[in-house]
């Protein structure tokens, strides 16, 4: 129904302008949604995708911060829409998916970027049930529920991609004692990636470690800029071969789980 509607409005520029005035995004435009995109790596990913002519749904849990970030990008020519989305709350994810589905008939790229890092120096012997639950809710279950909610739109893309922003801290082969709740949540997120990739054969689904990046989470002493941290995410969103799926990457290369 919506496709017929699209075909119809494409017939004349007048209709096109009319539909645009209602905020509808057209199916010739590449569409991306980035969670936790009001700052840090997420904001940079949104900025770079917009610079590559994507229409970007900039998702953030804080309406004011999200709107401000979207306005900043729009000032520099980006086509961007703010979506309120708290990934730790199913009651926020469902309406966000509905809001996006009202504006587009497909989604090409989902970047599950939002995450929390608490208890960096807490020992595994003392990490609380609360911290484990909150961290898993935001960093693991949130991205899974977001993927579930947006997968009908992703399935309508000719080139659908899901990028889960993970961390080397979640790599079983690199893991030590650092940030147990966060590290375990990212290991589990990697498992979500493998399960989704196996299930969704016509999408590419991958995990990325952005490296240690100068953001509020990474701190000022981190060696990488947000531009460098975004590089593999952007590559997976736009250029990586479609048959590269179910993997964990850093610096555009597959790394060990
Ligand atoms: N920076 C690094 O060195 C590094 C290294 C490895 C992996 N990563 C990963 O890279 C990603 C981005 O991190 P970053 O360094 O850019 O961190 P950041 O600057 O702290 O940004 C984190 C983003 O996630 C959002 N967020 C947190 N909880 C959320 C929730 N429940 N719902 C929606 N959004 C939520 C934050 O929103 P608020 O502003 O509202 O808090 C913020 O927009 C994360 O997945 C992180 O684990 C980062």
> Which CB contacts under 8 angstroms, 24+ apart, belong to 220-227?
226/40, 226/41, 226/43, 226/44, 227/44, 227/48
Beta strands in the chain (DSSP E): 31-34, 55-60, 79-84, 109-112, 161-165, 204-208, 248-250, 253-254
The token pair at 80 is 């961007």
Residue 237 lies in a domain: yes
CATH code (residue 217): 3.40.50.720
Q: How far is the CA of 112 from the centre of ligand 1 (A)?
A: 10
Looking at per-residue pLDDT, the higher value among 56 and 25 belongs to 56
Count CB neighbours of 41 within 10 A: 29
Atom of ligand 1 lying closest to residue 217 CA:
20
**CA 81, 86, 89, 94: dihedral to nearest 10 degrees?**
0
- CA–CA separation, 133 and 177 (whole Å): 18
Residue 223 lies in a domain: yes
Residue 49 lies in a domain: yes
- CA–CA separation, 79 and 56 (whole Å): 6
Q: Is 212 in the pocket of ligand 1 (CB under 6 A)?
A: yes
Residue 30 lies in a domain: yes
- Answer yes or no: 182 catalytic: yes
Q: Is 222 in the pocket of ligand 1 (CB under 6 A)?
A: yes
Q: What is the pLDDT of residue 4?
A: 40
Q: What is the pLDDT of residue 7?
A: 37
What is the extent of the structural domain holding 162?
Answer: 19-254
Mean pLDDT of the region 2-20:
41
Q: How far is the CA of 7 from the centre of ligand 1 (A)?
A: 39
Give the length of the chain.
Answer: 257
Residue 7 lies in a domain: no
Residue 74 lies in a domain: yes
Residue 170 lies in a domain: yes
Residue 246 lies in a domain: yes
Mean pLDDT of the region 242-257:
98
Domain count, the chain: 1
Cβ contact 181:115 at 8 Å? no
Q: How far is the CA of 21 from the centre of ligand 1 (A)?
A: 33
- CA–CA separation, 145 and 164 (whole Å): 12
Q: State the Cα angle at 96 between 95 and 97, rounded to 5°.
A: 90
Could you report the per-residue pLDDT of 175-186, keeping only the tens digit for each?
A: 999 999 999 999
With a cut of 70, say whether residue 226 has pLDDT above it. yes
């Amino acid at each position: 129904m919506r496709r017929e509607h699209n075909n119809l409005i494409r017939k004349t520029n007048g209709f096109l302008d009319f539909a645009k005035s209602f905020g509808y995004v057209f199916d010739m435009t590449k569409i991306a949604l980035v969670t936790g995109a009001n700052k840090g790596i997420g904001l940079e990913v949104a900025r770079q995708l917009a610079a590559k002519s994507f229409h970007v749904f900039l998702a953030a849990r804080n309406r004011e911060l999200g709107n401000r970030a979207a306005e900043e990008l729009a000032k520099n020519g980006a086509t961007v829409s703010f979506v309120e989305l708290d990934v730790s709350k199913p009651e926020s994810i469902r309406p966000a998916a509905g809001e996006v589905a009202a504006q587009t008939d497909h989604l090409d790229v989902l970047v599950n970027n939002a995450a929390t890092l608490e208890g960096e120096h807490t020992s595994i012997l003392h990490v609380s049930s609360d911290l484990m639950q909150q961290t898993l809710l935001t960093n693991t279950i949130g991205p899974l529920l977001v993927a579930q909610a947006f997968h009908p739109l992703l399935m309508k893309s000719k080139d659908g991609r899901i990028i889960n922003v993970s961390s080397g801290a979640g790599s079983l082969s690199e893991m030590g004692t650092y940030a147990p709740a966060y590290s375990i949540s990212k290991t589990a997120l990697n498992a979500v990636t493998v399960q989704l990739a196996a299930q969704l054969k016509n999408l590419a689904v991958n995990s990325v470690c952005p490296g240690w990046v100068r953001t509020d989470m990474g701190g000022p002493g981190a060696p990488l800029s947000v531009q460098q941290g975004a590089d593999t995410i952007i590559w997976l969103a736009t250029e990586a071969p479609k048959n590269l799926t179910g993997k964990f990457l850093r610096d555009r290369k597959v790394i060990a789980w």
